[in-house]
Amino acid sequence: MAEFVTLEVSDGIGTIRLTRPPMNAINRQVQSELVELSREVSRRADVKAVIVYGGEKVFAAGADVKEMARMSYHEMSEAIGELQAGLSAIASITKPTVAAITGYALGGGLEVALGADRRIVGDNAKLGVPEILLGVIPGGGGTQRLARLIGPARAKDMVFTGRFVGADEALSIGLVDEVVAPDEVYNAAVAWASKFTGAASQALAAAKAAIDQGLDTDLNTGLAIERHLFASLFATEDRTIGMDSFVEHGPGKAKFIGK
């Protein structure tokens, strides 16, 4: 049973919540529990979309520095794979994901949020990767996902300086996708996730895989990935349902079953 990361499922939406007070510092146990629950929501047929949430006050203020401060090079060399897997766990979920962010999302906390497909923040949010101020760099995917999301120059500015970015700037540079009042963050995430509770689940998974895998390769290889995934959907029941419904009733009327 997870202690610091919980999962609640309601109406097809799974909420993975960080619950390690006071600031949701991400230690090795939190990392392990993120991996465990990310695998669970990917596996569960009753979960159609996923929200990752830190609560009303803070998303996550970073990795647990006290835990790693006395680690040697050898110890970190052995632990870094698990650290990166934990902070990248949300990115492994095969379903639509949204990070609902209030307050601070810093260091490892921001790296967790970068693994989501969408980020919704309160207008009080502060985001950053301040690891440089500790004499290190982001190690949970931050240098790679941040550069892919906002471009290398902006990513280098954030990583090199360690500065915090407010909600408005984060929106303007594409780091986040929506800014709302802090007490509306979770509701806004539910509204987005709800769009997919009746969708063709396997088509959504294929779309996500095509985009994510395609970004990691050249165009021709990406097109080959797309061809394979597109053709594979012709083996699903939802493809038959969707096309038959379109022919008979027009667009947007299909009742998908997730198979």
Quote the tokens at residue 164.
Answer: 């915090």
Maximum Cα interatomic distance, the chain, rounded to a whole number of Å: 66
Report the alpha-carbon distance of residue 207 to residue 199 in Å, rounded. 12
What radius of gyration do the chain's Cα atoms show? 19
Quote the tokens at residue 241.
Answer: 């349902």
Place of tokens 């097809």: 12
Active-site positions? Answer: 111, 131
Contact 106, 130 (CB under 8 A): yes
Strands (E), 11-137: 13-18, 49-53, 97-101, 104-106, 118-122, 126-128
Report the alpha-carbon distance of residue 202 to residue 237 in Å, rounded. 10
Contact 117, 96 (CB under 8 A): yes
Report the alpha-carbon distance of residue 104 to residue 189 in Å, rounded. 17
- Report helix, strand or coil for 252: coil
Report the alpha-carbon distance of residue 259 to residue 237 in Å, rounded. 5
